[in-house]
């Protein structure tokens, strides 16, 4: 009797238009839990899916069919909303190769699957460009990159040309506001990854930017340790570590010699307002 009732139940999303069902009915693979000891970050995470396990990307025509239209009833709008979320997730996986959840079952979509790997000591321009999720470059990032590069060119008497800002981190520390930024510049056709530290020493609302350092990262470098605080939190001087930056995430690459930049060396938790 129970089996017969189940057979009479309508299939999930059966009331949705067929183009919407075409997206919603695509199968998903079973998630795979990756233990901490097998994860590059050292923390357990869950592999939601890989690109080769979910079929083709959602096409522009399929995306258009998921848009709300005049006359759609509440059920259709609900199904389309779920379909749009499904499409975003699937196309994200195709763009980045995979999708993971952290140990709190939150999707890891604000950094790449290689979060632990990219902190490596040696990284090329091509690796940075490939592993970082492409973000929209802000006017501020472009301005600060140009400012830092102009300072470098003037001191070294060379002529690097800015290619693109990659990523930046803004934080407050003690006396002022700091920005750590990575950008790519080229000279004689060769691309180089740069790190720069810029401090805003303005007072009373007046901007006064100072380029504290601008350094080409042509050999050893390392990412920030914002999510990996290992310095004891007792006492100000004991919490300072001049070999690492604790204000930046692992994606912002710094010189291997931490003494070349001024900000970010305080390893106490929650000390940085970003």
Give tens-digit pLDDT for 60-93: 888 888 888 888 888 888 888 888 888 888 888 8
* pLDDT computed for residue 73 by the predictor: 83
**Within this chain, do residues 145 and 98 fall inside the same structural domain, yes or no?**
no
Question: How sure is the predictor about 118, in pLDDT bands with cuts at 50, 70 and 90?
Answer: low
**Within this chain, do residues 75 and 200 fall inside the same structural domain, yes or no?**
no
Residue 48: what are its φ and ψ, rounded to 5°?
A: -70, -50
**Within this chain, do residues 103 and 122 fall inside the same structural domain, yes or no?**
no
* pLDDT computed for residue 111 by the predictor: 47
- Total tally of structural domains belonging to the chain: 2
CATH number at residue 244: 3.10.450.10
Q: Which of 169, 182, 196, 186 is nearest to 128 (CA)?
A: 182
* pLDDT computed for residue 126 by the predictor: 83
Of the chain, the percentage scoring pLDDT greater than 70 comes to 77
Rg from Cα positions in the chain: 24
**Within this chain, do residues 164 and 135 fall inside the same structural domain, yes or no?**
yes
State CA 218 to chain mean position distance.
22
**Within this chain, do residues 127 and 247 fall inside the same structural domain, yes or no?**
yes
Determine, yes or no, domain membership for 207. yes
User: 193-232 pLDDT, tens per residue?
Assistant: 999 999 987 655 556 899 999 999 987 788 888 766 655 5
* pLDDT computed for residue 237 by the predictor: 58
The pTM score is 0.57
Where helices occur in the chain by DSSP H, the ranges are 2-8, 18-24, 60-65, 74-96, 125-131, 139-156
What is the domain extent for residue 75?
Answer: 2-109
**Within this chain, do residues 7 and 101 fall inside the same structural domain, yes or no?**
yes
Q: Which residues have a Cβ under 8 Å from the Cβ of 119 and sit 6 or more positions away? A: 222, 223, 250
Question: How sure is the predictor about 1, in pLDDT bands with cuts at 50, 70 and 90?
Answer: very low
Cα separation, 87 vs 83, whole angstroms: 6
**Within this chain, do residues 100 and 162 fall inside the same structural domain, yes or no?**
no
Cα separation, 199 vs 3, whole angstroms: 69
**Within this chain, do residues 28 and 75 fall inside the same structural domain, yes or no?**
yes
């Amino acid at each position: 009797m129970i089996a017969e009732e189940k057979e009479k139940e309508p299939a999930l999303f059966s009331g949705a238009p067929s183009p919407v069902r075409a997206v919603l009915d695509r199968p998903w693979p079973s998630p795979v839990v990756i233990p901490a000891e097998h994860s590059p970050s050292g923390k357990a995470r869950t592999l939601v899916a890989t690109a080769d396990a979910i079929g083709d990307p959602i096409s522009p025509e399929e995306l258009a069919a998921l848009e709300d239209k005049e006359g759609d009833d509440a059920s259709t709008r609900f199904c389309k909303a779920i379909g749009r979320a499904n499409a975003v997730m699937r196309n994200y996986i195709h763009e980045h190769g995979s999708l993971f959840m952290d140990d709190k079952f939150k999707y890891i979509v604000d950094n790449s699957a290689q979060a632990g790997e990219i902190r490596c000591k040696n990284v090329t321009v091509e690796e940075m460009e490939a592993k970082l999720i492409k973000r929209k470059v802000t006017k501020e990032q472009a301005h600060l990159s140009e400012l830092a590069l102009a300072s470098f060119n003037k001191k070294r008497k060379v002529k690097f040309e800015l290619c693109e800002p990659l990523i930046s981190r803004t934080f407050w520390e003690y006396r002022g506001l700091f920005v750590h930024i990575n950008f790519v510049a080229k000279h004689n056709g060769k691309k180089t990854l740069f790190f720069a530290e810029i401090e805003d020493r303005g007072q009373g609302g007046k901007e006064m930017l100072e380029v504290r350092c601008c350094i080409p990262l042509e050999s050893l470098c390392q990412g920030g340790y914002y999510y990996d605080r290992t310095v004891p939190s007792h006492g100000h001087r004991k919490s300072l570590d001049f070999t690492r930056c604790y204000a930046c995430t692992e994606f912002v690459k710094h010189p291997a010699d931490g003494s070349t930049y001024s900000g970010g060396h305080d390893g106490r938790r929650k000390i940085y307002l970003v």
